[in-house]
Amino acid sequence: MSDQQIRKARSHVNQSEDLIFERSAPGKRGMALPRLDVPAVSAAEALGADLTRDDVSGFPEISEIEAVRHFTRLSTWNYAIDYGMYPLGSCTMKYNPRVNEFVARLEGIATEHPYQPAELAQGCLRILRDLERALLAITGMDAITLEPAAGAQGELTGLLVIHAHLRDRDGHPRKKVLIPDSAHGTNPASVALTGYAVENIRSDASGQVDFEELRRLVNEDVAALMLTNPNTLGVFEERIADVAQVLHERGALLYMDGANMNALAGVVRPGDLGVDVMHLNLHKTFSTPHGGGGPGAGPVAVKKILEPFLPVPAIVEEADGRLRLDTERPKSVGRVKAFGGNFGVLVRALAYILAYGPGIRQATEDAVLNANYLRAKLQDAYDLPYSTPSMHEVVFSDARQRKNGVNTIDIAKRLIDYGFHPYTTAFPLIVHGAMMIEPTESESREECDLFVDAMRSIAEEAATDPNLVKSAPRSTRVGRLDEVAAARKPILRWKPSE
Amino acid sequence: MYPTDFRYTKEHEWVKLDGDVATVGITDYAQHELGDVVYVELPAPGTKVEAGQAFGTVESVKSVSEIFSPVSGEVVEVNAALSDHPESINQDAHGAAWLARIRASNAKADLAALMDAAAYEAYIAEQQEEASA
Amino acid sequence: MRYLPKSDAERRAMLDAIGASSIEDLFAAIPERFRLKEALAVPGPLAESEIIGYFRDRARETSVGYSSFLGAGVYRHVRSVVADALLQRGEFLTAYTPYQAEISQGTLQWIFEFQTMVSQLTGQEVANASMYDGSTALAEAALMAERLTGRHRLAVTRSVHPEYRHVLETYAQHAGLAISTVGYAPSGRFDADALRAAVTPETAAVVIQSPNFFGSIEQVAEAAEIAHAAGALLIVAIAEAVSLGAVRAPSEADIVAMEGQSYGLPPSYGGPFVGVLATREKFVRQMPGRLVGQTTDAAGRRGFCLTLATREQHIRREKATSNICTNQALCALAMTMHLALLGREGVRELAEQNIAKATYARSRLEVIPGVQRIFSAPVFNEFVIRLPRSVRVVNEGLLRDKIIGPFPLGPFYPELTKCGLVCVTETTTREEIDRLAGSLERILASETNDAAAAPRTAGHRA
């Protein structure tokens, strides 16, 4: 298809903009401070000259309007969910409701200090308590901490809890954690931080954990299995309850990475499947904005037996119904972040849950419906390495296009010209040339159809005009960047020219 | 392509012995599989290494490969030019882009366990076949 | 449901296209016995106005209407509606991590600007794209020092924020990092002799905070000398970033771990904030977190991309420098915008206003009978006072006057019972400081009088 025929998008002029330091001119500023109502003091006078500095050399000097234009121009160079489908597999790029932003900024919510007395923090604590209850209802677990700042920190926290529990139970924490070969990289990295060794367990022909291999591997050295469910192929681990049983019989625990909870919320509760510990990514399933890479929140939910080991502080309810933070937990793994969790993110997640109520199940159903719709409409154009049923995402491979020299990255880049953000490329590692597509529930049938048209058209281009695909994107401000040069001679900051 | 006075490992290192000093590098096949090399990490001279043990890494933009020592001994010299010019591994993997010189403590036995050029070429042909299957 | 863009008819048509008779077919992989039969027990659904109503109700159960003198790692500073409006543009708010550089140049360029501004402020050569917060940045800095030195001990001063130290312990315990704690001197700064004695050839890093938890500005150069003499690194934690507008940058440090909240982020009951990690260029390959670098495309146009990614978990897995993936991008953007608006003059003026407020507040509080200054070192915008009564009891009195009083140090420092940490910033008005002084003076005077008469009823909150 010629670029003029693409229906979803066409290019338009956007503004150029230099680095903010290059726009700067001495003597300008973009913000006035309140008038000083006490006697002025110079820093050198108050602190002594040896403790003070000159102005921050090279710092920007621009007016308010220039700042507004600078950041507005930059913003127009980004793709965003607000533009259209963002089908990154395992990232759950769904609509971020604006009311969530509004309530997180309210006076009395955004303005509160973590050390203010509990009697003046009841509103904040009530929000946390209400979110805890909702997440426990959704996961079917018994206790929860909202403290971890992101999914990876949730993983670390969950593993620390397992470590502390085993040491408390047996006197030693055991030695290793099993991780499927399809796992996200944070899993092994989190395991390494807890001092456990990582042992990989392979997937079987259906893309699920090889159950017989698991039986062979679980022994008294194994502390836990970390399982993403549905896994990164978008496949539900059908034998998860049996997996839990094998682990439990041998004194090990089942950790569920809840990155893909968007396939389960309201339909099945991990707590019912034998899961002992799990984390949630509120910036995925619960719609808090990704913001270009955070902030997130990674609450960790556990079974009753693990509750004493959760991080401090915990929220406790007094007999009179008042809430307070409790740090007296002798078996706790400690603190994973100062000042409790990412409260502003937690506020947004609760606002999301309140908007749906029990209807969150409909969101899950639509997410799974969309993924299966894309699968049905694309499986004759792209190789489907695992034919096991898909949940909320589907993983194709570039096997057919590779014969013409076109790989998953080329197809991804070409999608940009069609007005879409690419899917996740080259992950999971067990699929060569993976194309991992997660539409989420936020996409209409029309948007799904446009995506199908784009993908089918690119498949055709790959067969008839592979160079067109390999030279994509053609419509962007910059073409493919020289990442090799960037890594060989890193330039990580601006410096004034000499 | 593959010099006959080198010996080769299954992890795609080459080794050439001069007296008791073994010069070690990665093979042309390895650099090709890795793509553009952006960084090389090598041990300090004086480091003791064991045959088969990882002693450094070679990185491309999106991957990291460990380098395994073909011999046991002590590192006497590393190729300092690689820190500024990692790309030379892509250009001359068997020559200028050698990685380290190791004073081998048991060279004979270590080298006896490795492949000669013909065996290595057969080995990589097999690997390529597997990859395309 | 308003967030879902499908009608039931469309759902049916899509099921037909898939060849499924009902939505249940698509969940067949989940064993029947585990599938929920009843509706989830969660509140809702609520309309937008009802959601706002719920949160407004909660907001009324907080401290609105009170004057606060709390700092201790979280600070109230001016913010700009300009920055907040700009960062709510969907292209910033609803974009993912900038892995696809061609359609993420906006995010990549501001991260590059953030890395630059952080380097300039901290006097370091390079900075990453953010960590979760100051406390985890410090923990990561310690692990980084362990990798860089191959040593397994830390010397940490007690004047580092107690919660930062607590987080550091959580991370260090499984990394084989042993922590020795070093006391503080009567000046309120670290005890240099004790530090010298604590540093050994096994020490990976010395950890100090400046301004420290007591508000005192530390002698960074001296700490660096002590650390470097033993071949150890110096890590400087900074909880109050605004200080860097006037306080000398810790350029002798090898790693700076900072909380950036003060520049543009609200207290938000503890988060989300923005952790900052900055270091020397030669250490960058042991640095955790994302980094953006400058490069060009085939046509020679300048562009930015994520770089040195082989350090990270998605490539190096269990051998990565950290498990961090999602960080605090949008908060880092808020800080970038705020700093751009303040500019070179503004960061300076802001810092000097804080120093002026603290100078004024001390002059008003330290003359109250019974109130004592206990540390002599210069402070930025926080300082410790000793009261003749328990800080908690005094604070209860202040609450009746709608004042949230000093942060009690006793729970963290048993030797500092009756001591409180007072914080004032450019947002604290002279009138508020005067009101605190008046109220405190009255309470102390009356408590001296009633103390003998009626013992207080105990049982107040922790």
In chain C, whose CA is at the least distance from the CA of A236? Answer: C29
| Contact yes or no for A304/C108 (Cβ under 8 A) | no
C426 and A28 within 8 Å at the Cβ level: the answer is no
Closest-CA distance of chain C to residue B62, Å: 6
Chains A & B: contacts with CB separation below 8 Å? 13
What is the Cα–Cα distance from A30 to A20, expressed in whole angstroms?
12
**Residues 59-98 (C) with a CB less than 8 A from some CB of A:** 59-64, 66, 68, 70, 72-74, 76, 78, 80, 82, 84, 86-98
Q: Report residue C51 CA to chain centroid gap.
A: 29
In this structure, of A442-451, B56-65, C67-76, C418-427, the range with the lowest mean pLDDT score is: B56-65
Chain B residues close to C284, C-beta within 8 Å: none
Q: How far is B87 from chain A (nearest CA, A)?
A: 9
The answer to whether A335 and C134 have CB atoms below 8 angstroms apart is no
Please tell me whether the interface predicted TM-score (ipTM) of this complex is above 0.95: yes
Residue of A94, A91, A79, A154 lying closest to A341 (CA atoms): A154
Amino acid C458: pLDDT: 39
| pLDDT above 70 (res C452) | no
Q: Give the pLDDT of chain A (498 residues) as one tens digit per residue.
A: 777 789 999 988 999 999 999 999 999 999 999 999 999 999 999 999 999 999 898 999 999 999 999 999 999 999 999 999 999 999 999 999 999 999 999 999 999 999 999 999 999 999 999 999 999 999 999 999 999 999 999 999 999 999 999 999 999 999 999 999 999 999 999 999 999 999 999 999 999 999 999 999 999 999 999 999 999 999 999 999 999 999 999 999 999 999 999 999 999 999 999 999 999 999 999 999 999 999 999 999 999 999 999 999 999 999 999 999 999 999 999 999 999 999 999 999 999 999 999 999 999 999 999 999 999 999 999 999 999 999 999 999 999 999 999 999 999 999 999 999 999 998 898 999 999 999 999 999 999 999 999 999 999 999 999 999 999 999 999 999 999 999 999 999 999 886
Query: Is the residue at C108 inside a domain?
Result: yes
* C-chain residue closest to B57, CA distance: C310
- Chains with 3+ CB–CB pairs under 8 A to A are B, C
* Whether the Cβ atoms of residue A419 and residue A9 lie closer than 8 Å to each other: yes
Contacts of B40 in chain C (CB under 8 A): none
Question: Which segments within C387-438 are labelled E, that is strand?
Answer: 403-404, 407-408, 419-423
Check CB contact under 8 Å for B62 and C285. no
What pLDDT shows up at residue A3? 78
Residue C454 clears pLDDT 50, i.e. is over it: no
Pairwise CA distance, residues B48 & B68, whole Å: 13
Indicate the SS3 state at residue B54: strand
Instruction: Determine which helix (DSSP H) or strand (DSSP E) holds C362, and give its type and residue range.
Output: helix C329-365
Contacts of C127 in chain A (CB under 8 A): 492-493
List where CATH 3.90.1150.10 sits in chain A. Answer: 360-484
Task: Give B131's pLDDT tier (boundaries 50, 70, 90).
Answer: low
Chain A residues inside the 8 Å CB shell of B59: 487
Rounded distance between C-alpha atoms, residue B129 and residue B131, angstroms = 5
State the total domains in chain B. Answer: 1
Residue C462 has pLDDT above 50, yes or no: no
The distance of Cα C443 from the centroid of its chain, to the nearest Å, equals: 33
- Give the separation between CA A189 and CA C324, rounded to whole angstroms: 8
How does DSSP classify residue C49?
H
The DSSP output letter for C217 is P
DSSP one-letter code for C189: S
- pLDDT score, position C448: 59
Q: Taking CA atoms, what residue in C is nearest to B64?
A: C310
State which of C339, C369, C386 marks the end of a domain: C339
The H or E element spanning position C238 is strand C233-238
- Site of tokens 């220039």: A66
Mutate to test the interface with A, among C2, C11, C62, C379 (most CBs of A within 10 A): C62
- A409, A488, A489, best to mutate vs chain B, most B CBs in 10 Å: A488
Domain assignment present for C54: no
- Are A484 and B39 within 8 A, CB to CB? no
Chain A residues 241-260 with a CB less than 8 Å from chain C: 241
Note whether residue C462 is domain-resident.
Answer: no
**SS3 sequence of chain A:** CCHHHCCCCCCCCCCCCCCCCCCCCCCCCCCCCCCCCCCCCCHHHHHCHHHECCCCCCCCCCCHHHHHHHHHHHHCCECCCCCCCCCECCCCCCCCCHHHHHHHCCCCCCCCCCCCCHHHCHHHHHHHHHHHHHHHHHHCCCEEECCCCCHHHHHHHHHHHHHHHHHHHHCCCCCEEEEECCCCCHHHHHHHHCCCEEEEECECCCCCECHHHHHHHCCCCEEEEEEECCCCCCCCCCCHHHHHHHHHHCCCEEEEEECCHHHCCCCECHHHHCCCEEEECCCCCCCCCCCCCCCCCCCEEECHHHHHHCCCCEEEECCCCCEEEECCCCCCCCCCCCCCCCHHHHHHHHHHHHHHHHHHHHHHHHHHHHHHHHHHHHCCCCECCCCCCCCCCEEEECHHHHCCCCCHHHHHHHHHHCCCCCCEECCCCCCCCEEEECCCCCCCHHHHHHHHHHHHHHHHHHHHCHHHHHCCCCCCCCCCECHHHHHHCCCCCCCCCC
Alpha-carbon distance of C61 to C184, in angstroms, equals: 39
In a domain, C29, yes or no: no
Closest Cα of chain A to B125: distance in Å?
19
CA A152 distance to own-chain centroid: 9
Last residue of a domain, one of C277, C305, C339: C339
Asked if residue C362 lies in contact with residue C215, where contact means CB atoms within 8 angstroms, the answer is: no
In a domain, C34, yes or no: no
Partner-chain contact B61 C309, CB within 8 Å:
yes
Residue-level pLDDT at A303: 98
Dist. CA A218–CA A201, nearest whole Å: 10
Q: How far is CA C345 from CA A44, C120, C146, in A?
A: 16, 14, 38
C196 lies in the same domain as C296? yes
Q: How many Cβ contacts (< 8 angstroms) between chains B and C?
A: 16
What range defines the domain where residue B127 resides?
Answer: 7-132
Interface contact flag, A186 C345, Cβ < 8 Å: no
Q: Do the bridges between strand C153-157 and strand C178-182 make them parallel or antiparallel, or are there none, so unpaired?
A: parallel
Cβ-Cβ contacts under 8 Å, A229 against chain C: none
Say yes or no to pLDDT of C212 above 60.
Answer: yes
Report whether A159 contacts A224 (CB < 8 A): yes
Give a yes or no: residue C46 inside a domain: no
Residues C309 and C242 in one domain: yes
* Cα torsion angle, A284, A289, A293, A297, sign: negative
In this prediction, residue C367 carries a pLDDT of: 97
pLDDT at position A186 is 95
Amino acid identity of residue C453, one-letter, is: A
Provide the chain A residues 450-489 that lie in CB contact (below 8 A) with chain B.
483-484, 487-488
- Does the structure show a pLDDT above 50 at C455? no
* C292-331 residues touching B, CB cutoff 8 A: 309-310, 315-316, 319
pLDDT band at B132 (very low <50, low <70, confident <90, very high): low
Structural domain contains residue B21? yes
Q: Which of C294, C312, C339 is the last residue of a domain?
A: C339
Residue C460 confidence (pLDDT) above 60 = no
- The total of other beta-carbon atoms located within 10 Å of residue A443's CB is 29
Q: Which chains touch B (3 or more CB pairs under 8 A)?
A: A, C
Second CATH level (architecture) for the domain A360-484 = Alpha-Beta Complex (3.90)
* Other CB atoms within 10 A of residue C400 CB: 9
Which CATH number goes with the domain that contains B12?
2.40.50.100
Going by their DSSP bridges, the two strands B21-26 and B13-18 should be labelled as antiparallel
Tokens of C245: 């507008």
Partners of residue A488 in chain B, C-beta under 8 Å: 38-39, 86-87
Phi and psi torsions of B88, nearest 5°: -65, -20
Position C449 scores a pLDDT of 54
* Residue C39 with chain A: CB contacts under 8 Å: 358, 361
- Is B89 a domain residue? yes
C138 with C154, same domain: the answer is yes
Query: Which tokens is C423 given?
Result: 């914080």
Based on the structure, what is the number of domains in chain C? 2
Chosen CATH of A102-358 out of 2.40.50.140, 3.30.1300.10, 3.40.640.10, 3.90.1300.10: 3.40.640.10
User: Does residue A299 contact residue A154 with C-beta atoms inside 8 Å?
Assistant: yes
pLDDT given at position A498: 67
Give me A259's structure tokens: 């990155």
The b-or-e profile of C254-268 (16+ CB within 10 A means b, else e) is bbbbbbbbbbbbbbb
> Two tokens at A74?
């930059």
B2 in any annotated domain: no
What residues are paired with A174 via a beta bridge? none
Predicted confidence (pLDDT) per residue in C122-177, tens digit: 999 999 999 999 999 999 999 999 999 999 999 999 999 999 999 999 999 999 99
Three-state DSSP at B50 gives coil
* Cβ distance of C326 and A296 shorter than 8 Å: yes
C36, A388 Cβ separation under 8 angstroms: no
**Residues contacting residue A82 through CB under 8 Å, at least 6 positions apart:** C90, C91, C93, C94
Q: Which of B36, B39, B63 to mutate to test the interface with A (most CBs of A within 10 A)?
A: B36
What's the domain range around C391?
Answer: 67-76+344-452
> What would the two tokens of residue C119 be?
């380097």
- Where b means 16+ CB within 10 Å and e means fewer, A172-192 reads ebbebbbbbebbbbbbbbbbb
Q: What is the DSSP string of C85-145?
A: HHHTSHHHHT---S-SGGGBHHHHHHHHHHHHHHHHHHT-SEE-S-BS-HHHHHHHHHHHH
CB A209 within 8 A of CB A187: no
- The helix/strand/coil state of C258 is strand
Query: Are C6 and A40 inside 8 Å of each other by CB?
Result: no
Residue of C401, C132, C79 whose CA lies nearest to A107: C79
Report in angstroms the alpha-carbon separations of C439 from A145, A362, C361, C447. 39, 56, 14, 12
CB-count exposure of residue A458 (10 Å: 0-12, 13-18, 19+) = buried
B21 CB near a chain A CB, below 8 Å?
A: no
**CATH code for the domain in which residue C232 is found:** 3.40.640.10
Chains that touch C (3 or more CB pairs under 8 A): A, B
C457 domain residue, yes or no: no
Q: CB–CB of B67/B93 below 8 Å?
A: no
Two structure tokens written together for A326? 């409790």
Q: What is the pLDDT of residue C446?
A: 87
